[in-house]
A and B are shown apart, each in its own frame.
Chain A
Amino acid sequence: DSGVTQTPKHLITATGQRVTLRCSPRSGDLSVYWYQQSLDQGLQFLIQYYNGEERAKGNILERFSAQQFPDLHSELNLSSLELGDSALYFCASSFQQGSGTDTQYFGPGTRLTVL
């Protein structure tokens, strides 16, 4: 158990809908990272927040957005869902703002299925 929690575990929805994925980092960690894992794209970094502020952006679509709240939990919002958004979404956390030596600890993931 990494100490990172993600809810829900599974999510099934229809195209065009909007969903919110939630992540609680390990106690004391200030950074939260979101990743998407799909069969065709592999594991891709989406976005990072550090202490409430966006720190780095990866291959995140404009239909996706995220935020980190004062209690440091984070939410990833996915809107106008398409079939291709079906994937496993991981959250990771680390103590620092993302120095190269800062190990990221991963949650169990949320599996999103878009029908």
Chain B
Amino acid sequence: AQSVTQPDIHITVSEGASLELRCNYSYGATPYLFWYVQSPGQGLQLLLKYFSGDTLVQGIKGFEAEFKRSQSSFNLRKPSVHWSDAAEYFCAVVPYSGTYKYIFGTGTRLKVLA
């Protein structure tokens, strides 16, 4: 079945440490890929997106993500985490064909230790 998997429900890192949030998808073709962040009590904000081309994508707030076709992954990274990055992060996929609705992963909640 088509799905988006974020294997880590919770992640805790220290401020200043590096971060990697995992996202795997299972679709026949390369879908369109997105990362969103949801701060407490807020809506979802787009961090970055991948459609085609360069597999390393730069986003806002110092985030980047790398698309790896061979691993069906689109992991989100940040070299140095700030306390304000504490939030929930969602990977989303739009299947290449179909109704173009977003399929969201279950989210990863990031906690940042001072």
Contact = CB atoms under 8 A, between A and B. Distances in A.
A2 B34 CA distance: 16
B101 A45 contact: yes
A103 interface: yes
A109 B43 contact: yes
Contact of A101 (B45, B51, B99, B101): B51
B75 interface: no
A90 B42 CA distance: 10
Contacts of B94: 100
Nearest to A2: B43
Contact of B44 (A55, A56, A100, A106): A106
Interface size bracket, B side:
20 to 34
Interface stretch (B18-26, B63-71, B103-111): B103-111
Given A100-B51, A108-B43, A43 B90 contact: yes
A21 to B, nearest CB: 14
B83 interface: no
A75 to B, nearest CB: 18
Nearest to B107: A42
B32 A101 contact: yes
Interface size bracket, A side:
20 to 34
Contacts of A99: 100
Interface of B: 31-32, 34, 36, 42-46, 49, 51, 90, 94-96, 99-107
22 contacts: A2-B45, A33-B101, A42-B105, A42-B107, A43-B90, A43-B107, A45-B102, A48-B99, A48-B101, A90-B43, A92-B44, A98-B99, A100-B31, A100-B94, A101-B32, A102-B100, A103-B49, A105-B46, A106-B44, A107-B43, A108-B42, A108-B43
